[in-house]
Amino acid sequence: MSSSLRELSTVVSNRLAVAAERASTFVRESGLACRVGCAECCLGAHVECTPLELLPVAFDLIDEGQGEEMLASLARLQREPQSVGCVFLERQGHAPDGRLLGRCGRYARRPAVCIHFGASARLAGGGERTVVACRVMKDDDPVRVAAANAWVSARAHDALNVPSISDDAVSLMALSPAMGMQRLPFNEALKAALEKALNAVAYETDVEE
């Protein structure tokens, strides 16, 4: 069980690495960009992802000897009614307009939703693709967002070369529908991924003894 979950984690990790590379090319070529240092979306209780996307970071935490400790922290956070945002968020104060600044403590292992937000397109009504842009981007620089949308529209014939948040979600989900369809608030998704990974590692240890 453990090795197959680890193998699944490796496949997910490889897919996320490809998605991150494509997202970075998209940002470079379309001109869409996050506000420098912005961490506003890492705060959101509304940000959801799947345990599947968080399997690689769950195994990292276990391999670093932090799995149980993180699980206990996540269980504690779950009992606190006030949301504190993503557990990996390292806060760095606020911008003059009050928006949160910060950095991701696990940037190289961030899940698909974090890779794609502000760095991909989605299918809008009428079959047209539009950029996945947030309120901060639209408020900061609507002209840049419009230009990025025009860049995407100009590539309608070449849609496969424009990263798509929805297509990538479907392709990830196909790897493990049980874990890939379960959309949860970030910290809950990490808790679910850690529980599965810890169980898998415990099973592996039992078998080896």
Q: What does the binding site for ligand SF4 look like in residue numbers (CB under 6 A)?
A: 34-35, 38, 40-42, 47, 86, 88-89, 104, 106, 110, 114, 117-118, 134, 136-137, 186
Least distance to ligand SF4, CB of residue 183, Å:
14
Of the pair 132, 179, the CB lying nearest ligand SF4 is at 132
Least distance to ligand SF4, CB of residue 34, Å:
3
Of the pair 2, 136, the CB lying nearest ligand SF4 is at 136
Least distance to ligand SF4, CB of residue 168, Å:
15
Least distance to ligand SF4, CB of residue 37, Å:
9
Could you please report the per-residue DSSP string of the chain?
-HHHHHHHHHHHHHHHHHHHHHHHHHHHHH---PPTTB-GGGS-TT-EE-GGGGHHHHHHHHHTT-HHHHHHHHHHHHH-SS----TTEEEEEE-TTS-EEEEETTGGG--HHHHHTTS-EEE-GGG-EEE---HHHHHH-HHHHHHHHHHHHTTGGGGGGS-BHHHHHHHHHTT-HHHHS--EEHHHHHHHHHHHHHHHHHHHHHHH-
Of the pair 147, 203, the CB lying nearest ligand SF4 is at 147
Of the pair 26, 117, the CB lying nearest ligand SF4 is at 117
